[in-house]
């Protein structure tokens, strides 16, 4: 991969892999995240995107991200990626949430990560992942083709390739599928990003390999859910930021609305929702970054609790951000909807909060009342 | 960004989990010996001196304090583990908890050496109970409106006035109180209050119990009539108490006691629904567990940041705000979910008794130790709105 233009990070990422311990990791995390932040700030300014009705901002943004090696952060160099750590990639996704990034960065990162679970090399292009819901199953047929329907696949229409998890007679396999070989019924999220139904009608993948031992669809959903949690938490940080700034500018009844106690208390509650989302998401990300296996109740709790709590925060926090902004925040011209609607949409991907709450509740009940506290206090 | 809130993903170190096992074993022994029941939450025997002394013997009071004062120089995260295990077991910690969390640290910082030498080791042994004298009949959240006077006299001060809502004053050996030593100034209405160490059970102090809606008598009215406090019982700067009250609040606001007060009803709900809950119960439990997990991660994170020498004042206020609102809602959510529990559930009676007590406890949770309104004001200031 060549390093051109703004970013640098490809060789810095390579440098990083030499320093796996101590402060070097956190410093290099900052380098990777700072690089992403810089690209987002330069090429994904919310105001400019909001004014750009033709979507001309997308290509330069994607190009800069690609040149920086970010979409394939989680793919080792030998498989075509830049070999960043999970923690670094999670940091990038938090930043992507803060900027409400609407290109398939998270999806391509997740696809590359999924393919790496079966040691499949990643192509350098937009990718997405199927299935994107724990309720959908794709089947690997005896003849090596894949069948089934995956709904709500983010950015499927924009993707050149799809990383697929499919179950067959010999267990779980991971496959790389050319997007031209599937049928797509386009759909849109609340934020007007593509979220499509992908139909696999005896599709022949480019590559299929068995998943590593113990890897299954739940693992993919947990990883996807933590990614969405980080994005929601990031969007809430920005909603808090722009709401506080707006309240310090807007004058009503002859004073800044930030001086009204009712508004202050609403913003304090928004800060609480933002804080809860941030704490839950970063804790879950840290857990996955250090987990030996997904098949562990404590890991499961971290990941699904983050998805549940962040989704609840998207509703409560986003609602407050809109309330503080009044009518202006309800307009298409204002940037607030870029964050609020995306945060609400992200709730649906990789299992909604109600889906995971049921699964978590069942698991807690099966463990029994006296094993609940030991689970909560296990880390 | 306006306010960069930070919640570092703190994990408890291995030695904390070892300590947790010791605490659990100790509590199991005490439960077996009949010292307390984890299920009986509405107890009259909240003050159990023998239990306090045993906790002291284990070295679990004053854990973070210097050894020369009887402390154990352990980390805040170790103290955190002890606190949360005691809370979840419904252990009777009333006698030592306030001294351990708040009063001891204030003495460490502001008391003269001979007082530290005298009192801190006895706190660590579980022998002393402390109360906090802040609110007065006409000054609650508005702390700086306090009127109880401490008038200078030979060798000390004479105190006259009334403190109210003072938890544990009826059993306390000492109180740390603020009294007015000078009038407020035009420039600074917070000026003129001084923090004192007050020895209880002395002439000049009358403690009148006040019944609470739970049926308990935990808080009191404390009337001072020409009560004498010696000069060496002044804590910190005369007239300058307002400078001393802020940074310690992070410790007080963010602990496990700020979201686990009604946790027991969740445990009993899980027991009542059994191992195969219907979808409604499963979803309800899942959402509640996700909340308690998130609250704990936030609270542990603040403890870790405090241990690292940071002062996450806004983060700590957020933990108390959303933690207390949550623990207040919890019994009502559990009641909703318990509505369809089978009649024959073995712990039905326990759950119903606990729910009735927790629902009656709930209103105080967002008032004690700083109301929701005060906390949101602090958060708003942290956000740059004031």
Model confidence at A1, in pLDDT bands (50, 70, 90)? very low
Smallest CA–CA distance, residue A144 to chain B, in Å, is: 37
Pair B197, B118: CB distance under 8 Å? no
Query: Is the confidence at residue A337, as pLDDT, over 80?
Result: yes
Judge: B268–A305 Cβ closer than 8 Å, yes or no. no
pLDDT score of B232: 97
Instruction: Please give the torsion angle defined by the CA atoms of residues A33, A39, A41 and A47, in that order, rounded to the nearest 10 degrees.
Output: -130
Closest CA to A17 of A35, A29, A4: A29
- Among B297, B377, B385, whose Cβ lies nearest the Cβ of A244? B385
pLDDT score of A14: 39
Provide the angle, in degrees to the nearest 10, between the axes of the packed helices A23-43 and A9-16: 160
Query: Is the confidence at residue A24, as pLDDT, over 70?
Result: no
| DSSP category for residue B172 | -
| DSSP category for residue A87 | H
The residue assigned the tokens 């009518």 is A327
Chain B contact for A311 (CB, 8 A cutoff): no
pLDDT score of B369: 85
Judge: B283–A278 Cβ closer than 8 Å, yes or no. no
The Cα A69–Cα A3 span in angstroms is 8
Strand partners, B130: B174
Chain B contact for A245 (CB, 8 A cutoff): yes
Q: What residues contact residue A313 under an 8 Å CB cut-off, 6+ apart?
A: A232, A233, A236, A273, A274, A276, A277
Query: Is the confidence at residue B386, as pLDDT, over 90?
Result: no
Pair B280, B341: CB distance under 8 Å? no
Round the average pLDDT of chain A to a whole number and report it. Answer: 93
pLDDT digits (tens, 9 = 90+) for B159-210: 999 999 999 999 999 999 999 999 999 999 999 999 999 999 999 999 999 9
The model carries a pTM of 0.94
Judge: B298–A377 Cβ closer than 8 Å, yes or no. no
- Domain ranges for chain B, please list them: 14-128, 132-241, 249-382
Query: Is the confidence at residue A2, as pLDDT, over 90?
Result: no
Closest CA to A78 of A122, A126, A113: A122
Q: What is the DSSP string of A250-275?
A: -EETTEEGGGSHHHHHHHHHHHHHHH
* CATH (residue range B132-241): 2.40.110.10
What's chain A's Rg over C-alpha atoms? 21
Pair B283, A353: CB distance under 8 Å? no
Query: Is the confidence at residue A64, as pLDDT, over 50?
Result: yes
Pick the CATH number of A125-213 from 1.10.10.10, 2.40.40.20, 1.20.58.390, 2.40.110.10: 2.40.110.10
Q: A162 vs A24, which has greater pLDDT?
A: A162
Judge: B297–A248 Cβ closer than 8 Å, yes or no. no
Q: Which fold has domain B249-382?
A: Butyryl-CoA Dehydrogenase, subunit A; domain 3 (1.20.140)
Peptide bond into B102 cis (omega under 30): no
Q: What residues contact residue A8 under an 8 Å CB cut-off, 6+ apart?
A: A35, A68
pLDDT score of B370: 87
Looking at beta carbons, which residues of chain A come within 8 Å of B279? 358
pLDDT score of B346: 84
- Domain B14-128 homologous superfamily, CATH: Acyl-CoA dehydrogenase/oxidase, N-terminal domain (1.10.540.10)
* CATH (residue range A217-376): 1.20.140.10
The Cα A193–Cα A205 span in angstroms is 26
pLDDT digits (tens, 9 = 90+) for B27-67: 999 999 999 999 988 876 678 999 999 999 999 999 999 99
Judge: A364–B267 Cβ closer than 8 Å, yes or no. no
Q: What residues contact residue B16 under an 8 Å CB cut-off, 6+ apart?
A: B75, B77, B78, B80, B81
pLDDT digits (tens, 9 = 90+) for A201-253: 999 999 999 999 999 999 999 999 999 999 999 999 999 999 999 999 999 99
Q: Give the least confident one: A93-97, A362-366, B369-373.
A: B369-373
- Domain ranges for chain A, please list them: 1-101, 125-213, 217-376
Q: What residues contact residue A98 under an 8 Å CB cut-off, 6+ apart?
A: A40, A234, A235, A237, A238
At B337, which helix (H) or strand (E)?
helix B313-338
Mean pLDDT, residues B83-102 taken together: 95
The Cα A68–Cα A34 span in angstroms is 12
Question: Residue B49 CB: number of other CB atoms within 10 A?
Answer: 14
> How many interchain CB pairs under 8 A, A with B?
184
Closest CA to A82 of A14, A31, A7: A14
Query: Is the confidence at residue A66, as pLDDT, over 90?
Result: yes
Question: Residue A37 CB: number of other CB atoms within 10 A?
Answer: 18
Chain B contact for A357 (CB, 8 A cutoff): yes
Helical residues (DSSP H) of chain A, grouped into ranges: 9-16, 23-43, 46-51, 58-67, 86-98, 105-116, 217-249, 261-290, 297-325, 336-346, 353-367, 372-376
User: B11 to chain A: nearest residue by CA?
Assistant: A379
Pair B204, B159: CB distance under 8 Å? yes
**ipTM value for the complex:** 0.94
The Cα A377–Cα A375 span in angstroms is 5
Model confidence at B71, in pLDDT bands (50, 70, 90)? very high
On the question of a common fold for B14-128 and B249-382, the answer reads: no
User: B386 to chain A: nearest residue by CA?
Assistant: A259
pLDDT score of B12: 94
pLDDT digits (tens, 9 = 90+) for B237-282: 999 998 886 656 666 788 999 999 999 999 999 999 999 999 999 9
Q: What is the DSSP string of B266-284?
A: HHHHHHHH-SS--HHHHHH
Judge: A259–B375 Cβ closer than 8 Å, yes or no. no
Pick the CATH number of A1-101 from 3.30.720, 3.30.70, 3.30.420, 1.10.540: 1.10.540
Helical residues (DSSP H) of B125-166, grouped into ranges: none
The Cα A361–Cα B292 span in angstroms is 13
Query: Is the confidence at residue A7, as pLDDT, over 80?
Result: no
Mean pLDDT, residues B362-367 taken together: 96
pLDDT score of A3: 34
Q: How many Å is the maximal CA-CA distance in chain A? A: 74
Instruction: Measure CA B236 to chain center.
Output: 22
Looking at beta carbons, which residues of chain A come within 8 Å of B20? 377
Q: B285 vs B340, which has greater pLDDT?
A: B285
pLDDT digits (tens, 9 = 90+) for A35-44: 999 999 999 9
Give residues 257 to 296 of A whose Cβ lies within 8 Å of B: 258-259, 261, 263-265, 267-269, 271-276, 278-280, 282-283, 285-287
Judge: A368–B271 Cβ closer than 8 Å, yes or no. yes
| Most A CBs within 10 Å, among B5, B9, B371, to test the A interface | B9
pLDDT digits (tens, 9 = 90+) for A108-127: 999 999 999 999 999 999 99
Question: Residue A354 CB: number of other CB atoms within 10 A?
Answer: 15
Round the average pLDDT of chain B to a whole number and report it. Answer: 93
pLDDT score of B208: 97
Three-state secondary structure of B82-132: HHHHHHHCCCCCHHHHHHHHHHHHHHHHHCCHHHHHHHHHHHHCCCCCEEE
Query: Is the confidence at residue A294, as pLDDT, over 50?
Result: yes
At B149, which helix (H) or strand (E)?
strand B149-153
Query: Is the confidence at residue A17, as pLDDT, over 60?
Result: no
Judge: A373–B275 Cβ closer than 8 Å, yes or no. no
Q: What residues contact residue A54 under an 8 Å CB cut-off, 6+ apart?
A: none
Q: B369 vs B44, which has greater pLDDT?
A: B369
| Most A CBs within 10 Å, among B4, B6, B7, to test the A interface | B7
The Cα A303–Cα A355 span in angstroms is 13
The residue assigned the tokens 């690997």 is A140
pLDDT score of A264: 98
Model confidence at B141, in pLDDT bands (50, 70, 90)? confident
Model confidence at B144, in pLDDT bands (50, 70, 90)? confident
Alpha carbon distances (Å) from A9 to A32, A100, A289, B158: 7, 22, 20, 70
């Amino acid at each position: 991969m060549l390093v051109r233009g703004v970013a640098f990070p490809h060789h810095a990422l390579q440098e990083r892999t030499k320093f796996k311990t101590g402060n070097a990791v956190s410093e290099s995390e900052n380098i990777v995240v700072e690089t992403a932040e810089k690209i987002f700030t330069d090429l994904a300014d919310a105001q400019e995107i909001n004014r750009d009705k033709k979507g001309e901002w997308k290509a330069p943004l994607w190009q800069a991200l690609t040149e920086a090696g970010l979409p394939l952060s989680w793919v080792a160099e030998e498989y075509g990626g830049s070999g960043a750590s999970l923690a670094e990639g999670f940091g990038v996704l938090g930043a992507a949430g803060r900027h409400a990034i609407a290109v398939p960065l998270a999806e391509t990162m997740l696809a590359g990560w999924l393919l790496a679970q079966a040691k499949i090399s990643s192509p350098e292009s937009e990718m997405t992942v199927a299935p994107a819901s724990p309720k959908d199953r794709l089947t690997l047929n005896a003849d090596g083709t894949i069948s089934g329907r995956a709904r709500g696949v983010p950015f499927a229409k924009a993707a050149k390739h799809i990383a697929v998890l499919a179950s067959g007679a010999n267990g779980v396999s991971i496959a790389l599928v050319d997007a031209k070989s599937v049928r797509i019924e386009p759909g849109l999220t609340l934020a007007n990003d593509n979220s499509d139904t992908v139909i696999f009608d005896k599709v022949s993948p480019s590559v299929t390999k068995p998943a590593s031992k113990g890897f299954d669809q739940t693992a993919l959903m947990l990883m996807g859910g933590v990614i969405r949690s980080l994005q929601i938490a990031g969007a809430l940080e920005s909603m808090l930021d722009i709401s506080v700034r707006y309240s310090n500018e807007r004058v009503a009844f002859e004073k800044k609305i930030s001086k009204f106690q009712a508004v202050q208390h609403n913003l304090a509650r928004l800060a609480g929702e933002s804080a809860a989302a941030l704490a839950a998401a970063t804790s879950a990300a840290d857990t996955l970054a250090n987990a030996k296996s997904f098949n562990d109740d404590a890991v499961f709790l971290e990941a699904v609790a983050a998805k549940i709590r962040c989704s609840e925060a998207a509703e409560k926090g986003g609602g407050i951000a809109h309330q503080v902004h009044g009518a202006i925040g309800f307009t298409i011209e204002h940037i607030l909807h870029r964050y609020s609607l995306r945060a609400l949409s992200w709730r649906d991907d990789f299992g909604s909060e109600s889906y995971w709450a049921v699964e978590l509740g069942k698991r807690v009940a099966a463990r029994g009342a006296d094993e609940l506290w030991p689970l909560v206090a296990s880390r | 960004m306006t306010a960069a809130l930070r919640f570092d993903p703190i994990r408890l170190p291995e030695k904390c989990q070892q300590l947790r096992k010791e605490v659990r074993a100790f509590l199991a022994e005490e439960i077996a010996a009949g010292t307390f029941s984890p299920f009986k939450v509405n107890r009259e025997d909240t003050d159990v001196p023998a239990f306090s002394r045993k906790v002291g013997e284990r070295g679990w009071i004053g854990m973070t304090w210097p050894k020369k004062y009887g402390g154990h120089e352990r980390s805040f995260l170790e103290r955190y583990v002890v606190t949360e295990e005691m809370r979840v077991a419904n252990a009777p910690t009333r006698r030592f908890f306030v001294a351990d969390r708040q009063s001891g640290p204030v003495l460490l910082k502001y008391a003269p050496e001979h007082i530290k030498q005298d009192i801190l080791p006895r706190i660590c042994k579980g022998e002393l109970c402390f109360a906090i004298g802040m609110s007065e009949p006409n000054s609650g959240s508005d702390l700086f409106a306090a009127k109880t006077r401490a008038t200078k006299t030979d060798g000390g001060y004479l105190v006259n006035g009334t403190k109210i809502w003072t938890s544990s004053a009826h059993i306390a050996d000492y109180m740390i109180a603020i009294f007015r030593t000078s009038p407020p100034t035009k420039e600074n209405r917070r000026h003129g209050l001084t923090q004192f160490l007050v020895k209880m059970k002395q002439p000049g102090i009358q403690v009148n119990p006040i019944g609470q809606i739970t049926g308990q008598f935990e808080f009191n009215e404390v009337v001072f009539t020409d009560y004498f406090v010696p000069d060496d019982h002044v804590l910190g700067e005369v007239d300058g108490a307002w400078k001393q009250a802020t940074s310690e609040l992070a410790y007080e606001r963010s602990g496990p006691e700020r979201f686990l007060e009604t946790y027991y009803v969740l445990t009993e709900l899980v027991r009542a629904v059994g191992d195969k809950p219907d979808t409604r119960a499963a979803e309800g439990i899942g959402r509640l567990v996700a909340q308690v997990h998130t609250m704990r991660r936030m609270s542990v994170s603040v403890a870790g940041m405090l241990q690292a020498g940071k002062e996450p004042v806004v983060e700590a206020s957020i933990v108390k705000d959303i933690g207390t609102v949550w623990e207040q809602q919890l019994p009502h959510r559990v009641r909703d979910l318990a509505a369809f529990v089978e009649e024959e559930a073995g712990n039905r009676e326990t759950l119903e008794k606990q729910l009735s007590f927790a629902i009656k406890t709930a209103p105080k949770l967002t008032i004690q130790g700083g109301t929701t309104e005060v906390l949101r004001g602090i958060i708003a200031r942290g956000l740059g709105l004031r």
